[in-house]
Chain A
Amino acid sequence: MRWGVTLGVTLLVLLIILFELPALRQKPLRDKIAFFSLLLCGWVLAQFDLPNMAGPVTWLNELFKPWGNLMKK
């Protein structure tokens, strides 16, 4: 765990919530769920060592690599 990052990201997420909350209060539940679930996704992702982790780009690369290698010939 990198505590500094966790702390910073939590602070950032709280700031975003504080910024949006006044406007979000009047919105239906669906909007609130969408907002908080996206923020939660971001918070969870930020806990990992993202640059050195396999991501969607890596998966897509594994899937489409044969085409790319075909081109390089």
Chain B
Amino acid sequence: MLEKGKISAFQMGVMMYPTIIATAILSLPATMATYAHNDLWLSPIWASFAGFLTVYVSHRLHQYYPQQTLIEYSCQIVGLIPGKLIGFLYCFLYLMWTGQIVRNYAEFVVGAFLFNTPIVVVIASMILVCVFAVRGGIEVIGRAALLFMPLFVLPLCLMVLLLLPDLDWQNFFPVLENGIVPSLKGAVVPHIWLGEFWLTAFLFPLLADSSKGRKWGMLSVLAVTITMIATNLFSLFLFGSDVSSMLYPLMIASRYVSIADFFENLESVVMAVWVLGAFVKISVFFYVIVLGSAQLMEVTDYRPLVWPIGFLIVLFSFWGIPNMIVFNYLDETSLPYYGFFMQILLPLLLLLIAKLRNKPQRMKSAA
């Protein structure tokens, strides 16, 4: 085992929450509203099935191959060369996605706050911080996530409270005006975010109390779903049908807050939350890439790979993405489909093969 550190199942659950939510609360309400209109609050419920399924599949695979990550057991399930190929695909996919996450983070920071800063500075400084976290190992990331969790959740709840007087409950209606299909269409993009729980395939072997792994994984999916429903309802009540035309509804909502001329300019709070969440999210993805590629190349230590991979992430955040228009176009036209293939179909296939492979052995041991 490359990683000596251990985290608790609770820490994993807490770690996964900002890993999914950090980017999901900002731009996803608008994406869901584009397809689902008034029923955007239903879409996370459909999407949550993807989350529950991936946690279930990754936990079942973990039961078949305890103490092994996806990279290692895929070689045992489908053989050395196809297994390595699958491992490479996942490392490459996560490298690509981390690049996109960092780019999304940086574009938001530059677009909303640091107008004159070159984007590469924002990206590089974030990666620099994450490099130190990842070099510290999974324990450091776990603790950082635990530490940042209240700072991440409380400001969001506070913002909802402050905006309560501005909410218009009538925007909720009509429910299911055009049937169930629009809300299902709205779930296509967010199901990728919940499918990111497939990262637990790398984290389950690192748990000190792996028997509780599934419970906390599922609870984390539930928490993510509830948060997504809440933010969607919140944006719907505040903006009505205008949500779909906004790039970052929550950001605009925070600018609305004005109570007693004292609570104002709360967008800086959203910003702080976003930086914290993005830090945890990028660190977790970064760590998974580093651990995965170290296991893929069978080296003795993953730490030397952290800097080169951090450098590659910076490059991948630019590769093929000239601007945010292209970025959003890619997010909607292709991401949900290859994401579905990599996070749901391929894991299910692996589980099926693992099940068939392990059957005769169990019968032998029973006889």
Contact = CB atoms under 8 A, between A and B. Distances in A.
Given A27-B300, A31-B299, A50 B308 contact: no
Contacts of A68: 332-334, 336-337
B320 A54 contact: yes
B341 to A, nearest CB: 8
A39 B308 CA distance: 5
B309 interface: yes
Contacts of B332: 68, 71
A41 to B, nearest CB: 7
B96 A45 contact: no
Interface in B290-319: 293-294, 297-301, 303-305, 307-309, 311-312, 315-316, 318-319
Interface in A1-38: 12-13, 16, 19-20, 23-24, 27-28, 30-31, 34-35, 38
The secondary structure that dominates the A interface is helix
Given A16-B307, A61-B330, A64-B334, A42 B297 contact: no
Contacts of A64: 333-334, 337-338
Contact of A24 (B297, B304, B316, B318): B304
B319 A20 contact: no
B319 A56 contact: yes
Contacts, number: 108
Contacts of A12: 311
Contacts of B92: 56
Interface string B179-204: 00000010010000000000000000
A42 B337 CA distance: 28
B254 interface: no
Contacts of B298: 30
Contacts of A45: 312, 315, 319
B136 to A, nearest CB: 14
Interface string A57-68: 110110111011
B54 interface: no
A57 B311 contact: no
A58 to B, nearest CB: 5
Nearest to A19: B307
Given A16-B311, A23-B304, 8 more contacts: A30-B299, A35-B308, A39-B311, A45-B319, A46-B315, A50-B318, A63-B334, A64-B333
29 contacts: A16-B311, A27-B299, A27-B300, A30-B297, A34-B299, A35-B304, A39-B308, A39-B311, A42-B308, A45-B312, A45-B315, A45-B319, A46-B315, A50-B318, A51-B320, A51-B321, A52-B322, A55-B320, A56-B96, A56-B319, A57-B96, A57-B100, A57-B321, A61-B333, A63-B334, A63-B338, A64-B337, A68-B336, A71-B188
Interface of A: 12-13, 16, 19-20, 23-24, 27-28, 30-31, 34-35, 38-39, 41-42, 45-46, 50-58, 60-61, 63-65, 67-69, 71
Q: List 5 A-B pairs, minimum CB-CB distance, nearest first.
A: A55-B320, A68-B333, A55-B319, A38-B308, A64-B334
